[in-house]
Amino acid sequence: MLNKSQSISVRLSAEDYDYLMHIEQNGAVTQSEKVRELIRMTREQIGTQSFTRAYLCASDAVAPYRALSKDIPDTRSDIVDGILDFIDEAAAAVQATEKNDQFVSQLEQRLLPVSENLLARLLPSFLQSQTAQLANAENITPRAERIRHLIAQLQTPIRKE
C-alpha cells in the first residue's frame, strides 16, 4: 500500500501558531494547508540543492499517478511505468542542474543517460510486445511498425549528391 502522506503533530508557541494562521499563500486555509505552503515556500527559497532531493520532490508529484497505475494489477503497463520513471528522473535532472550559462550543456549531460534508459525500457515493450505487460496490447502493433520503420531510416546511410 502506497502511503501518500504522513501525519505529524507539533506543539507551537502562541506566537508561532498566530504566524502560521496568518499565512495566506495560495488559498491555504487549514493548518495542514498552511504547513504544506510553508514547506513549498521554503523549497522555493532554498532551491533544490541535490539530485536526490530533486528526485524525491519529483517522485512526490508523480506518486498519485503511479499509485493509480498500480492499483489494478491486470491493467499495469510497462510503458506507463517507464514513462513515469522518466518523468521523475528528468524533472530531478532539470531541478538539480545549476542555473547558469552552462545550464543547457549540463542538463543535456544529465538527460542523456535518463533518455537512454527510457529507450531501453520502452523499445522492448513496443517491439516485443508479446513479452511486455501492456494495458492496450492491441494498439501496439501499428506503433511497433512505425518504430521499426524509423529505426530502419536511421540505419540507412544518407546519400550526398
- According to the model, what pLDDT value does residue 160 have? 67
Query: What's the one-letter identity of residue 131?
Result: T
Q: Are 126 and 92 in contact (CB under 8 A)?
A: no
- According to the model, what pLDDT value does residue 57 have? 75
Total length of the chain: 161
Q: Whose CA is closest to 132, among 144, 142, 148?
A: 144
Cβ contacts of residue 81 below 8 Å, gap of 6+?
66, 69, 121
Structure-block grid coordinates of residue 1: 500500500
Cβ contacts of residue 152 below 8 Å, gap of 6+?
none
* Residue where the block lists cell 498519485: 64
Q: How far does Cα 15 stand from its chain's mean position?
A: 38
Domain map (residue ranges) of the chain: 16-46, 49-155
Query: What's the one-letter identity of residue 76?
Result: R
* Residue where the block lists cell 524525491: 56
Distance CA 15, CA 31 (A): 15
Half-sphere exposure of 96 (CA within 13 A, CB side): 19
86: left (phi over 0), alpha (psi -120 to 50) or beta: alpha
Q: Are 62 and 76 in contact (CB under 8 A)?
A: no
pLDDT tens over the chain, length 161 residues: 445 677 888 888 888 888 888 888 778 888 888 888 888 777 665 555 566 777 777 788 888 888 888 888 778 899 999 999 999 899 888 888 888 899 999 999 999 999 999 999 999 998 988 889 988 888 888 889 999 999 999 988 777 66
